[in-house]
Structure 1
Amino acid sequence: MTTLENRLPRESFSKALARMCKKLDEAPERLVLEKSAFSGNFEARITITSLWVVGSYARGAEHCGDLDVVINWRSGNGLTPSTQAVKNIFFGPVPRLQCFSGTPKNNSSYVAFPDAVKIWSGPGCNWEKAIESIKVVQGAGREARETDLIPLRPCQMNCCWDGLHNVVEQLKSGILEQEFVAFTPEMITADVGADLDPTARYLFSLQSKKSQALMPPIVRLMDKIEPNLRWYYEGGTSLRCGGSLIRLGLPSIDLHLLMADTGVRQLVIIPHLSARGPNGAWILRRGPNHPDALTFGQRQAYAFTCGGKPVVQANYQVDSMPHSICLLELYKSESAAQRKRGKAEKGLAEEVAISSIQGQELLNSIMGVDAVKIGRTIHALSPRAKGALRKPISTIFSTVA
């Protein structure tokens, strides 16, 4: 877990926990309305029988990221509402409250809590004494978990625990690699009005206000990591900039998009901004042991490079094309690139060099553009290039044999 998470003094959570216990004393049984698009709306009579505090607060940490509690309840009519619905009805809005249903050993988090402390066990119990029994322990904090390799908090994403563990396994095995770019205050408040692509401006206008607040740092990020700055709408809260698929809000992690020839070079997971954080972009890419990277391991090509990166033609267009595309020109040999340079010397800056690119670098370069030109043949790699060139989309593996 990244240290960019904002943590609060435990006193604020002690006060919240006391208010919750008072509410349980007043009404341990309530009607809970569950609104579900799948099973329909229903009402359940719920009685909470026990409440444990778990996590860093239970271990005596001076500062905590949230207040983790486990609540056990029974239903009077056999209907089981969601934990979120029960939490809202019994406790109302409590900042940073994470509720799990069940017991410390078996609960909806799918994680056992051996350090759980029972706080409330029924009206009249001495919950004040139970809270006071937890002493502050110097150096106590979060319990290390395997998913700490992921820089975002689980509740910032729409992903189950099994899905997060799958990501961790693929990161450890080198199938995937990751990068986290923290959003600084300067990035969040940057004025991008004059530089913003009109298509990007329109696509962000379709999003919620919380997603629109992410526009400045996203635009700045794409300027740095994406050679193909063409924007597309991918449905819902998803945008695409070149080879980067951007998921906003409470994003899902669709790893299958990195496991097939989809033209997606990297997944960019960006939750909405929050006081707790972390605020930033979690970028997932193919790693050195990814099957695609291994397939490209021995493949090589030459390209014009600047600053160590292949030069792309962002607005390549000839008379017969209805619109421009982002094109990468590759050469099978250094001599072929030299001949092209001789013909186009005036159009190339002095800092442009001829470099060999191979393996994963070659793969990433190809997946970041609309089309690749080798010799006289142009391979379409995106729907935009397909329409412009009037050619079927080629696989990335057929471009460089």
Structure 2
Amino acid sequence: MEKRHPRERFTKQLIKMCRALDKAAQHDFEIDDYDKIYKGHMEALQLWVVGSYARGALTCADLDVVVNFTSKGAAPRPRVIQRKFFGSLPLLRVYEGTPETNRSGVPFPDAVLIWTNEDCDWQSRIDSIKLDPSAGRAPRDTDVIPLRVEQMYLRLGDLEKAVDLHKNGVLEWEFIPIDEAMLQPIPVKGKGTPEHQLHLHTKDLGKKTKELVPAVWRLTQEHESEPTWDSAEHEKATLICGSTLIHIGRPALPLRIFDETSYQRLILIPHLTARGPNGAWLIRRGPNHPHWPMVENRTAYYVTYKGTPAHCAHECGFSEVLVLELFKSPEDAKDSIFDAIPETLKFFEVRQATGIDLYNLMLGADVVDYEGDFLALTRAGRYLIEDEYEGCEVDFTLNSFMEIFDTTYHTPTL
């Protein structure tokens, strides 16, 4: 339950903001980016108050305002803009734009215009808002999003797209709270283990990000049977564990990954804060995802070693590329274990995967080999195919590739 404060507290803040704009409604900025200085200029035109304060609530959790700016040149980050125009005011959320289209990603039909550069009559507009003891936070479509807007790095339209995909069953998600137990240190293990891999990829991260690494590790233990760790080349706080993409800190919302075939799930974990919510937003494909009809009734066989899918590892540049072999029959799958050491044969097992299970199995690999036909699921897989399997078509959509799969079922004769 979020803490609410007396309305008078936010009225004082709103008055301070209007006085600040009366004094200086435009500012110059200098942005230092990799030893280059970029200059910009911004001017405030209007300010609206929105949310529960605009509806006359007697208590509010925070003060939400929308400010319409004009800008020239480089634009600084939202927090820099907020501090420059209004100083450091607690529990203030400033959304750049208009009530109809703004950085929050949602429209505000209850917006009340307070300040404009055309007059100084903001006090009467504040006083004109009628108090309503029954007013509170209005329900919004975006309430299904488990994180606050300020906890993420969003582009315009990201939230509406996520809500729409969730409403239509294309995506589904859950929120997993992070408690003290999840933040306990990771057990120390030797070189070559997944835990050591994770340490190498996170040892140079910032303090607040490293604080979350144990929780990341524990989450992936539940979802990845054969965890292998990697990190994005130019994004230090972006980790990859098997078919799971993880953003830590102030995460983006790259929903496009669910149109491709590199990842099975996306986990967003903002830095821990006093306000919260503190936890992991786990997103995956929902029951109505358009990929599911492609794999419906499709079946194949594969080999496991000690219960996990057996991949063939190939060196491709500085990366290890995993190839998953699939077969039309259990006999073909069994024949592929011809070069196994006799002492290890007992650890191999042939299994069948159908439909969604087959799809999720494939997402754990970079390349899928089905009876001599190849599919690149990742960019690393594409490079391997181009280098070693000439003439193979690269397909990131699964559509044509799944058409060659068998739709009949075989009874294993092993």
Which bin holds the TM-score, normalised by the shorter protein? Answer: 0.7 to 0.9
TM-score of the aligned structures, taking structure 2 as reference length: 0.71
Q: What is the match of residue 202 of structure 1?
A: 200
Distance 1:381 1:102 in 2: 39
Distance 1:115 1:26, change over 3 A: closer
Task: Provide the secondary structure at the position in 2 that maps to 1:28.
Answer: helix
Q: What is the match of residue 143 of structure 1?
A: 138
Distance 1:161 1:144, change over 3 A: farther
Q: Any conservation in 1 of the 2:270–2:278 contact (CA below 8 Å)?
A: yes
Matches within 5 A, 1:247-266: 247-261=247-261, 263-266=262-265
1:242 is displaced (CA, Å) by: 0.7
1:221 is displaced (CA, Å) by: 0.1
Aligned-partner residue type, residue 286 of structure 2: G
Q: What is the match of residue 294 of structure 2?
A: 295
Post-superposition Cα deviations, 1:154-197, rounded to whole Å, max 9, x if no partner, equal: 2322223422222222223333232322222321x312142571
More off after superposition, 242-251 vs 93-102: 93-102
State whether structure 2 residue 353 is matched by structure 1 residue 357.
yes
Correspondence for 1:56 among 38, 52, 58? 52
Aligned-partner residue type, residue 368 of structure 1: G
Task: Provide the secondary structure at the position in 2 that maps to 1:270.
Answer: strand
Task: Provide the secondary structure at the position in 2 that maps to 1:141.
Answer: coil
Distance 2:319 2:164 in 1: 42
Q: Any conservation in 2 of the 1:54–1:117 contact (CA below 8 Å)?
A: yes
Distance 1:395 1:27 in 2: 55
Unaligned runs of 5+ in 2: 406-414
Q: Any conservation in 1 of the 2:298–2:354 contact (CA below 8 Å)?
A: yes
Q: Any conservation in 2 of the 1:34–1:43 contact (CA below 8 Å)?
A: yes
Distance 1:353 1:275, change over 3 A: farther
State whether structure 2 residue 15 is matched by structure 1 residue 15.
no
Distance 1:301 1:103 in 2: 53
Q: What is the match of residue 243 of structure 1?
A: 243
Post-superposition Cα deviations, 1:197-233, rounded to whole Å, max 9, x if no partner, equal: 1121121123222211110110000011112311111
Q: Any conservation in 2 of the 1:371–1:378 contact (CA below 8 Å)?
A: yes
Distance 2:363 2:213 in 1: 24
More off after superposition, 332-341 vs 51-60: 332-341
Matches within 5 A, 1:1-400: 7-11=2-6, 14-22=8-16, 24-25=18-19, 28-30=22-24, 32-36=27-31, 40-43=38-41, 51-61=47-57, 64-71=60-67, 84-101=79-96, 104=99, 109=104, 111-117=106-112, 122=120, 125=123, 134-137=131-134, 140-187=135-182, 189-195=183-189, 197-234=195-232, 235-236=234-235, 237-261=237-261, 263-302=262-301, 311-313=308-310, 332-333=328-329, 356-369=352-365, 383=380, 391-392=388-389, 397=398, 398=401
Q: Any conservation in 1 of the 2:57–2:133 contact (CA below 8 Å)?
A: yes
Q: Any conservation in 2 of the 1:380–1:391 contact (CA below 8 Å)?
A: no
1:295 is displaced (CA, Å) by: 1.2
Distance 2:21 2:292 in 1: 59
Distance 1:102 1:331, change over 3 A: closer
Aligned-partner residue type, residue 7 of structure 1: E
Distance 2:336 2:43 in 1: 77
Distance 1:141 1:124 in 2: 23
Q: Any conservation in 1 of the 2:105–2:159 contact (CA below 8 Å)?
A: no
Aligned-partner residue type, residue 275 of structure 2: R
Distance 1:174 1:9 in 2: 34
1:134 is displaced (CA, Å) by: 2.9
1:17 is displaced (CA, Å) by: 3.8
Unaligned runs of 5+ in 1: 1-5
Distance 2:150 2:213 in 1: 22
Q: Any conservation in 2 of the 1:175–1:289 contact (CA below 8 Å)?
A: yes
Task: Provide the secondary structure at the position in 2 that maps to 1:258.
Answer: helix
Q: What is the match of residue 408 of structure 2?
A: none
Q: Any conservation in 2 of the 1:20–1:91 contact (CA below 8 Å)?
A: no
Aligned-partner residue type, residue 58 of structure 1: A
1:135 is displaced (CA, Å) by: 4.3
Post-superposition Cα deviations, 1:298-350, rounded to whole Å, max 9, x if no partner, equal: 212356899xx963358x779xxx99887867664467779999x9898768x
Q: Any conservation in 1 of the 2:104–2:149 contact (CA below 8 Å)?
A: no
Higher relative contact order (CA 8 A, sep 6+): 1
Q: Any conservation in 2 of the 1:18–1:128 contact (CA below 8 Å)?
A: no
Distance 1:129 1:174, change over 3 A: closer
Distance 1:117 1:44 in 2: 22
1:279 is displaced (CA, Å) by: 1.9
**Matched residue pairs, number?**
379
Distance 1:347 1:372, change over 3 A: farther
Q: Any conservation in 1 of the 2:170–2:285 contact (CA below 8 Å)?
A: yes
More off after superposition, 56-65 vs 367-376: 367-376
Post-superposition Cα deviations, 1:108-148, rounded to whole Å, max 9, x if no partner, equal: 656553434566784893688568x53432xx433222222
Q: What is the match of residue 410 of structure 2?
A: none
**What RMSD over aligned residues (CA atoms) do the two structures have, in Å?**
4.7
